[in-house]
């Protein structure tokens, strides 16, 4: 039997965060749910009562993040799962985005996530357990044109969490990266997604890329049982893709490995020593 867990979820007022908060509460867990507009959490509060602690939070305000995590911990007595879900998107070719847009994207997706992690870690270390979950994206694994800055934020989250997992394993803390593909949430609304002013030079590229339809998007509700299975696992994964994009990821990594292999002689030559002496001989393990 799975014991009741206590969650801290950012961005719980809509989208994935709302789906996951409701799934946790529906099975008897407790949730400290945050949203920039606390009114977005009224539905959860009215449905689940005292099992919900609604908190207003903008994760770009670091001091408020620490205060919210402390309040949640004091209210429930512990935190088992810290789910950094709040995020924002940015579309535009690298040449099109201005620095204010870039900074805003990193403030939410990278620095906001980092604040949540750093606020929770002392509490989780003290109790000797916990599970930190970050919402990355398949865009944190594979980059495609016209989303480079958004992808850059998710690549950054991937690197931070991979290092984090190794750093906190001895404290009994698990770390997982969720890597969703495209889902029918309100992520594509103006409240979540910014778009840089378009340069006409990139219009032909955009036309070739514009193949996504609502029918091709995943069902957000279908992710909730998967997340619950992850948090209940004795050995949860560091990474899990949500959706059908694993073939694309495999193809991308196969190409990367092929390129590295093709340029291996040059890679070894760049050491400034005899590449032939350094290269693995036939029959030897690399």
- Which CATH homologous superfamily contains domain 6-244? NAD(P)-binding Rossmann-like Domain (3.40.50.720)
pLDDT at 274: 66
CA 171 remoteness from chain centre: 22
Beta-carbon contacts of residue 143 (< 8 Å; ≥ 6 apart): 151, 155
pLDDT tens, position by position, 171-185: 999 999 999 988 877
129: annotated active-site residue: no
* Catalytic residue, candidates 136, 137, 183, 202: 136
* Catalytic residue, candidates 5, 84, 88, 154: 154
pLDDT at 92: 96
Beta-carbon contacts of residue 13 (< 8 Å; ≥ 6 apart): 33, 35, 36, 37, 40, 41
Instruction: Name the residue ranges covered by the structural domains of the chain.
Output: 6-244, 246-286
Residues 216 and 88: their CA atoms lie apart, in Å, by: 21
Cβ atoms < 10 Å from Cβ of 162: 14
253: annotated active-site residue: no
Residues in the chain: 286
pLDDT at 284: 54
* Catalytic residue, candidates 5, 115, 150, 183: 150
pLDDT at 217: 86
State which residues of the chain have pLDDT below 70: 1-2, 187-191, 210-215, 274-286
pLDDT at 3: 82
CA 268 remoteness from chain centre: 35
Beta-carbon contacts of residue 193 (< 8 Å; ≥ 6 apart): 88, 89, 90, 91, 187
219's tokens:
């069902």
pLDDT at 2: 62
Inter-helix orientation angle 223-232/15-26, to 10°: 60
pLDDT at 279: 60
pLDDT at 182: 84
183: annotated active-site residue: no
- pTM greater than the 0.85 cutoff: yes
């Amino acid at each position: 039997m799975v014991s009741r867990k206590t969650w801290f979820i950012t961005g719980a007022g809509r989208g994935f965060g709302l789906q996951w908060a409701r799934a946790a509460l529906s099975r008897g867990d407790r949730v400290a749910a945050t949203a920039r507009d606390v009114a977005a959490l009224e539905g959860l509060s009215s449905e689940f009562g005292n099992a919900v602690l609604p908190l207003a939070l903008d994760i770009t305000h670091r001091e408020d993040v620490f205060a919210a995590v402390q309040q949640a911990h004091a209210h429930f007595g512990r935190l088992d799962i810290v789910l950094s879900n709040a995020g924002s998107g940015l579309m535009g070719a690298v040449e099109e985005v201005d620095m204010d847009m870039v900074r805003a994207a990193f403030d939410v997706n990278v620095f906001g996530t980092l604040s949540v992690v750093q606020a929770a870690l002392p509490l989780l270390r003290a109790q000797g357990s916990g599970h930190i979950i970050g919402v990355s994206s398949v865009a944190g694994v594979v980059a495609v044109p016209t989303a480079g800055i958004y992808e850059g934020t998710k690549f950054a989250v991937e690197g931070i969490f991979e290092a984090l997992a190794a750093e906190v394993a001895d404290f009994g803390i698990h770390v997982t990266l969720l890597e969703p593909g495209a889902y029918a949430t309100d992520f594509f609304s103006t409240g979540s997604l910014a778009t840089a002013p378009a340069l006409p030079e990139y219009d032909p590229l955009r036309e070739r890329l514009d193949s996504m339809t609502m029918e091709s998007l995943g069902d957000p509700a279908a992710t909730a049982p998967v997340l619950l299975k992850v948090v209940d696992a004795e050995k949860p994964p560091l990474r899990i893709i949500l959706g059908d994009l694993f073939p694309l990821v495999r193809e991308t990594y196969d190409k990367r490995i092929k390129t590295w292999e093709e340029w291996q002689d040059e890679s070894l030559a760049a050491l400034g020593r005899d590449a032939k002496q350094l290269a693995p001989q036939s029959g030897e393990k690399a």
